[in-house]
Chain A
Amino acid sequence: MQEKLLQINNLSVSVEDKKILHGIDLEVNMGETHVIMGPNGAGKSTLGNALMGNPKYIVDGGDIIFDGESIVSLSADKRAAKGIYMSFQNPLEVPGVSLGNFIRSAMEHRTGKRIKLWDFKREMKQAMDILQMDESYAERDLNVGFSGGEKKKAEILQLLMLKPTLAILDETDSGLDVDAVRTVSKGVEEFRKDKKRSLIIITHSTRILESLNVDYTHIIVDGKIVETGDASLIEEINARGFEKYEQPDRREQ
């Protein structure tokens, strides 16, 4: 494992023939927490999806180096196997597949080993306790009929179980009430207890960040990183918003 975990070089990405990201450069070292902020439509989620390998997002140029290796040509499952995880903004519903069986199956794919049911259940219970999730959720179909908050908790549950080295949290706090944000934050803190793990938090609010130590903050506007700073940049955005970065003639996203 390299000190320099992720290196994004001049990355350009388009979705359905529309160019969204225009030359993103970003480096994430092991154990760092990066926050990506920006107005709606700036390209934050596009960056997350491009990192995870969503085939809808086409890399037009540049490179993504993860753990010393270019991953742009790898499918999402191979990226996951290398240790990348993304918590989805809108987790998908998969009828007929229980949350518990799904997580176990994902863990077995990730490790290439069978996991004993007993060990799995014990670990799962610990993680669910942290997230204040009732154990019965393990038996329910993946995200089917889950409330917004339950879906996000289930995303963090998977994060805790799969133990990636780089987690991308895409708007994990959006649409959650104060209590749910607190619970989800607790899960993220638990993940960060291992100092080798890195985080990229995509958000347009700041609530989830209150309890986390942020190393860097990046502002994305119109598909470019327009400013990088430390945690204090978050306060500034909180106070003044993104206006100073936005061009008056900014094209509509």
Chain B
Amino acid sequence: MREKTYVEDVNRSIYDIKNEDKDSYKLEEGLTTKIVEQISSEKNDPEWMREFRLKSLEIYNKLQVPDWGPSIEGLNMDEIVTYVRPNTHMSAKWSEVPEEIKETFERLGIPKAERESLAGVGAQYDSELVYHNVREEVAAQGVIYTDLESALRGEYAEMIKEHFMKLVPPTDHKFAALHGAVWSGGSFVYVPPGVSVEIPLQSYFRLNAPGAGQFEHTLIIVDEGAYLHFIEGCSAPKYNVANLHAGCVELFVGKNAKLRYSTIENWSKNMYNLNTKRAKVEEGGTIEWVSGSFGSHVSYLYPMSVLNGKGARSEFTGITFAGKGQNLDTGTKVVHNAPETTSFVNTRSISKGGGISTFRSSVVVTKNAPKSKSAVSCQSLMLDSESRSDTIPAMDIRTQDADIGHEAKIGRISDEAVFYLMSRGIPEEDAKALIVSGFADNVSKELPLEYAVEMNNLIRLEMIGSIG
């Protein structure tokens, strides 16, 4: 547990401190065959990966941008730098990480959290991992936690080739194709059968370079009967130019295995967050998503669970906070593709200061999935009359024998409740923050304590200055 002083010391500025972007090696802006080939040779890709990238670029050029969600007109791919390599190599010792970069992660509390509450940490800065380490006792259990590039050339090369972008193929959508072409960094985790990783692993993604894109790929395989909690954090300082995040997360949850995947995303408000996350769950396995979306200018984010074996389970707990200038389109998808599969979706979304928050969900129950159960519950809270909240649930049920429930609530923050709390001596801002934190309690109680504290702190920061 972090001590209280840490919590009180946190303020928005830690996310916004930008390091001068000077020593890094970067490719030209835009997206061409030449750039993709440069990235590939820079990374010393195996031949199949080089071909995969070029093929993905072809697909990218053929696909249209989505026309059903928030506008991404402000994003001009010709101006995005797809590859920025920090002036360092990956290390397993913080002492070998360049001072300035190390300080950034210190401010974000990563090395401290690693010492106190994590089994392993990966830290990515712009396009490359600068730090990766896993505790000895965890490694001794046979758990692999490394950057994807090393994994591509190591012992697990075949496993990567077998799984890489198989759940999220480049043909999935335009930004999946983009990811396939220019991906860089990210983590590979393999948990062997029956191994339970008692404390979480965490990867932190920091995008420092202005006008750049981050395209990390996270590939996690939790083998039969194993357990893992993986935490992903992301942030960036704010710039006046558009930044792009088009990462990809592929999770393979084996028979009777369980994976909990938690994300606290706090991208700066010039970020286009077009991220794709997907999990495939085998018989008796469980995927638990915990997802907090606070940052970015525009988000498209719908972690998807494919329940592919009998009795597989998915739980999605999410919160989205859209403030001024933010249009966050978030939600989840579940495909029930085997008998007796279960999914629970429980989300909260908050909008304020003209922010737009849209909850979008899709539950598909195929004819292979009799006796399946799904319950979707989403609640929205608007903090003022200029903000907007929408709920777009979709259901496609192809079997008679399924138990499906959906409930949605949209409301405004109650003036009476604010007055009630104020009448006890709590100032207006704090009263509103208390109501909003309480509203978000479903998510914060799913998070490890220090992240719950960080999330509540983010809510407080968002609330400050909201009083007109």
Contact = CB atoms under 8 A, between A and B. Distances in A.
Given A77-B426, A77-B428, A109-B425, A92 B420 contact: yes
A220 B334 CA distance: 61
B441 A85 contact: no
A76 B422 contact: yes
Nearest to A56: B415
B236 interface: no
B141 interface: no
Contact of B422 (A77, A94, A97, A105): A77
Interface string A134-151: 000000011000000000
Given A96-B437, A96-B439, A96-B441, A77 B417 contact: no
A19 interface: no
Given A80-B422, A105-B434, A92 B440 contact: no
B415 A96 contact: no
A97 B424 contact: no
Contacts of A105: 426, 430, 434
B438 interface: yes
Interface in B434-464: 434-435, 437-442
A94 B423 contact: no
A86 interface: yes
A110 B427 CA distance: 10
Nearest to B444: A96
B73 to A, nearest CB: 37
Contacts of A75: 422, 427-428
B414 A109 contact: no
Interface string B397-438: 000000000000000001111011111111110110011011
B170 to A, nearest CB: 41
A96 B438 CA distance: 4
B426 A109 contact: yes
B445 to A, nearest CB: 9
Interface string B71-112: 000000000000000000000000000000000000000000
A95 interface: yes
B304 to A, nearest CB: 28
Contacts of B442: 96
A76 B430 CA distance: 13
Contacts of A95: 438-439, 441
Contacts of B420: 88, 91-92, 94
A55 B419 contact: yes
Given A94-B434, A105-B434, A109-B427, A76 B441 contact: no
A106 interface: yes
A54 interface: yes
A56 B420 CA distance: 12
B435 A97 contact: yes
Contacts of B423: 52-54, 76-77, 79-80, 85-86, 88
A45 B434 CA distance: 26
Contacts of B440: 96
A75 B419 CA distance: 9
A237 interface: no
**Which residue of B416, B422, B442 has the most chain A CB atoms within 10 A of its CB atom?**
B422
Nearest to B439: A96
B441 A162 contact: no
A214 interface: no
A113 B427 CA distance: 15
B33 to A, nearest CB: 52
Given A77-B426, A77-B431, A105-B426, A94 B441 contact: no
Interface string B161-188: 0000000000000000000000000000
A8 interface: no
Nearest to A82: B425
A217 interface: no
A133 interface: no
A85 B414 CA distance: 20
B353 to A, nearest CB: 20
A176 interface: no
**Which residue of A81, A85, A109 has the most chain B CB atoms within 10 A of its CB atom?**
A109
Given A106-B424, A109-B427, A54 B419 contact: yes
Contacts of A142: 438
A76 B122 CA distance: 48
A158 interface: yes
Contacts of A88: 420, 423
A169 B334 CA distance: 51
A93 B426 CA distance: 16
Contacts of A109: 424-427, 430
A158 B422 contact: no
A60 B17 CA distance: 49
A131 B430 CA distance: 28
Nearest to A84: B423
Nearest to A101: B434
A106 B426 contact: yes
Given A94-B438, A97-B435, A106-B426, A76 B417 contact: no
21 contacts: A54-B419, A54-B423, A75-B428, A76-B419, A76-B422, A77-B425, A77-B426, A80-B423, A80-B424, A80-B426, A88-B420, A94-B420, A94-B434, A95-B441, A96-B442, A97-B437, A97-B438, A105-B434, A109-B424, A110-B425, A142-B438
**A-B pairs, 6 with minimum CB distance:** A96-B438, A96-B441, A80-B425, A76-B422, A106-B424, A97-B438
Interface of B: 414-417, 419-428, 430-431, 434-435, 437-442
